[in-house]
Each structure stands twice: as structure tokens, then as C-alpha cells.
């Protein structure tokens, strides 16, 4: 029986080495390693591996873009995503796109090690941290486009009056949106709102009215 193979894609050498050791111990042969998104696509196309371990944030091509190209050129390759980001939006996008497994880089090594046989057997799963984030997001009201605009402006340091002038609404309307934002994202201060905006990539939300 031919051993399963893998391409490891991460721009940090120590992480690639660690993943390689774990995969090798699980009986997976490491076919190649990529240091950026374009290399990952080329190596997957060339090797047609059983597995691709994919860092979601690499140079030259976003992980989600690599994901799409891998599906195009090697549809049977099972994709294991590692993310240093905890954005609900990003993790939801990856889950919806059909990643076979998603782990946060802060997860315990044992979670990934235990998952390898499951993934090779054709099952899909989420790391404990990812599952927790997505479960919390599922129970939370989604932000409207206007709320995202206002959150972006709050995060940029604008006052209610300045935001109102920018968007052509009343300061009271902005204050109501701010109250709804804090309730929806479970923030108790402006600092927590800004932290949420940073985490979710909303610092530069579309500001068109």
C-alpha cells in the first residue's frame, strides 16, 4: 500500500519542520515544502499529494486563494488549514469553502496529531479553538453593513459627531449604532470594539454611504 503524501506550506521554517515531524510519525511522506502561496499551488499541482497543510497567511497569495487553486488542480487533496488569526469571518469562510480541517496555530500539538488518521480516513473536523469560535459566532447577531462602516470609523478614532458628519446622519443615530455594536460583539469598552475590528479585518470597511 502506497504511503499517503503531503505538501507543507508555511513561510516559517520551524513550523514546517514541526509539521513534517508530526506527519512523518503518522506515516505520511512529506513530498515537498512551500514557503509562499505560489509555491504551494505549483507543488500541489506537481505532486498531487494526499494532504496539504496550509498556512492561511503567506506571501504572494492569500491562503483562501491558494485553497481555490488547489481545489482546481488537485481536487482529491485534503486541505488542513493552520491559522494564526482568530477572525470569525475568515474561519467561517474556510469552513464554508470546504477545508477538511482547520486549526489555530495556538492549538495543542496533540489535537493535530490525533486528527491525522481521521483526516486520512476521509473525515472533516475543526480544532477545539476553531470550533469554539465558530460556535460563539453562530449564536451572535451579524453586523449590518452600516454597523461595519461605523465600527471602522470608531476604530480609526473618530467621535460620534465626526462619524455623523462623514456619513450624513445624526449623532444620535451613530450613538444608537454604537450601542448595538457593543451588544452584538459583546464589547464593554471602545478598546474592546477596536480589538474586535482588528481581529475581524474591519479597520477599512467600505465607507461608501
- CATH T-level fold of 5-137: Rossmann fold (3.40.50)
pLDDT > 80? residue 154: yes
pLDDT > 50? residue 36: yes
pLDDT averaged over the chain? 87
pLDDT > 60? residue 60: yes
Instruction: Take residue 7 and report the three cell numbers written for it.
Output: 505538501
Where are the CATH 3.40.50.2300 domain residues in the chain? 5-137
- Per-residue confidence at 209, pLDDT binned at 50, 70, 90? very low
* Nearest alpha carbon to residue 113 among 18, 40, 48: 18
pLDDT > 50? residue 3: yes
Where are the CATH 1.10.10.10 domain residues in the chain? 145-199
Choose which CATH entry (1.10.287.130, 1.10.10.10, 3.40.50.2020, 3.40.50.1110) describes domain 145-199. Answer: 1.10.10.10
pTM: 0.70
pLDDT > 70? residue 138: no
Amino acid at each position: 500500500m502506497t504511503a499517503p503524501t503531503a505538501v507543507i506550506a508555511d513561510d516559517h521554517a520551524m513550523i514546517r519542520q514541526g509539521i513534517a515531524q508530526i506527519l512523518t510519525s503518522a506515516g505520511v511522506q512529506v513530498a515537498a515544502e512551500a514557503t509562499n502561496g505560489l509555491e504551494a499551488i505549483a507543488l500541489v499541482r506537481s505532486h498531487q499529494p494526499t494532504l496539504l497543510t496550509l498556512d492561511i497567511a503567506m506571501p504572494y497569495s492569500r491562503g483562501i486563494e491558494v485553497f481555490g487553486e488547489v481545489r482546481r488542480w488537485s481536487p482529491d487533496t485534503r486541505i488542513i488549514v493552520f491559522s494564526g488569526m482568530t477572525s470569525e469571518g475568515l474561519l467561517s469562510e474556510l469552513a464554508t469553502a470546504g477545508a477538511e480541517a482547520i486549526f489555530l496555530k495556538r492549538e495543542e500539538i496533540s489535537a493535530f496529531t490525533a486528527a491525522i488518521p481521521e483526516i486520512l480516513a476521509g473525515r472533516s473536523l475543526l480544532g477545539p479553538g476553531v470550533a469554539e469560535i465558530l460556535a460563539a459566532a453562530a449564536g451572535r447577531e451579524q453586523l449590518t453593513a452600516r454597523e461595519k462602516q461605523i465600527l471602522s470609523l470608531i476604530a480609526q478614532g473618530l467621535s460620534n459627531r465626526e462619524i455623523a458628519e462623514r456619513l450624513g446622519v445624526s449623532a444620535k443615530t451613530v450613538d444608537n449604532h454604537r450601542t448595538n455594536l457593543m451588544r452584538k460583539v459583546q464589547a464593554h469598552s471602545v478598546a474592546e470594539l477596536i480589538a474586535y475590528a482588528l481581529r475581524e479585518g474591519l479597520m477599512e470597511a467600505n465607507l461608501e454611504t
